[in-house]
Amino acid sequence: MAKAIRRGTRSFFQRYFSDPITALFVLIIYTFFKILPVQTASLLGAKIGSLLYKVMQKRNKIARRNLEIAFPEKTTTEREIILRQMWQHWGRFFAEMPHGETLYKTARKNGLDNLKKLYDEKKGCFVCSAHLGNWEPAVSAPLFDEYYLNPVYRVANNKWIDKIMFQRRKGTLIPKGSAGARLMLQVLKKGGGVVILCDQKLREGIDVPFFGKTVKTAPATATIALKMNLPIIMARCIRGTDGIFDIDVSTPLEMPNIQELGEEKAIFELTLKINQTIENWIRQNPEQWLWVHHRFDKSEYNN
């Protein structure tokens, strides 16, 4: 497991007082949920999520605008139901974090052969997912044999919380940043699968449609995949109505012809395919996407 070392500058007070105290509080909560049976933890998490729905008004304002953009055909009441269910889902998500390996064992798995084929060929790949459902089961256990997914993630500013929440994951942790980019290339060249959540907004990026709006989207996955001739797999882990998760792994995306289109157009077309897949996922399970972040242009949130 790689140690993630990049984090925001911390003051003396934060490093030696507030960070350890905050981490201790998080550790107590994490341990509490870990002791509970997974179903009990999940139900309690949903209750906490319902409470957050009532108090997180600033985040709710962002989410309501996002829902208006994505689902203009729905009524205000229908969108509000999705928002309330979203908070319940993410309350469950955090309560279930200590149980990722257990959730993977009980999940229904579809399409793992698509990754197994690449594993047998010793070919690296990108596995694109989103802030949808629960990705923890897929990074908490080997998917098969000794095959682990290697997640790209943002290192927590609080190093203790980073250890508690993230460094327990399996595989190679790849921190965002230049050091992480080098590590990612090493993993890919060795035939590993690098998992990236591809639905975040960037200050910089290329303009790609998403829910009918042009949004800044990271082109790095498509760029590297095209240059290194690596496949891109789309994968999600969705909570079923029975509480069991469904892990769905796609066949590799069809790669655009870079010779015919040119590099810039090929990157755009491949990134568009990723966005379209994620949008389709969200439409199928809107209550399981994280609606509370600024995904669209800042002008959309001025009112």
- 1 in any annotated domain: no
- 5 in any annotated domain: no
The token pair that represents 89 in the structure block: 């889902």
Q: In this predicted structure, what is the pLDDT of residue 3?
A: 43
Q: In this predicted structure, what is the pLDDT of residue 203?
A: 77
Per the structure, the complete domain to which residue 47 belongs is given by: 12-298
* pLDDT at residue 6 greater than cutoff 60: no
Q: How many domains does the chain have?
A: 1
Buried b (16+ CB within 10 A) or exposed e, 48-77: bbeebbeeeeebbebbbbbbeebbeeeeee
How confident is the model over 29-38, as pLDDT tens digits? 999 999 999 9
Q: Which residue from 99, 88, 103, 97 is spatially nearest to 165, judged by alpha carbons?
A: 97
Buried b (16+ CB within 10 A) or exposed e, 18-38: ebeeebeebeeebeebeebeb
Distance in angstroms (rounded) separating the CA atoms of residues 2 and 19: 22
Average pLDDT over residues 101-121: 96
Average pLDDT over residues 238-255: 96
Residue type, 154: R
Average pLDDT over residues 139-143: 93
Average pLDDT over residues 198-220: 91
Lowest mean pLDDT across 93-102, 197-206, 245-254: 197-206
- 220 in any annotated domain: yes
- 57 in any annotated domain: yes
Q: Which residue from 209, 217, 214, 207 is spatially nearest to 299, judged by alpha carbons?
A: 214
- 4 in any annotated domain: no
* pLDDT at residue 92 greater than cutoff 60: yes
Q: pLDDT exceeding 70 applies to what percent of the chain?
A: 97
Average pLDDT over residues 266-284: 98
- 7 in any annotated domain: no
In contact, 1 and 187? CB cutoff 8 Å? no
Residue type, 189: K
- 249 in any annotated domain: yes
Q: In this predicted structure, what is the pLDDT of residue 34?
A: 97
Helices (H), 56-108: 57-70, 76-96, 100-106
- 303 in any annotated domain: no
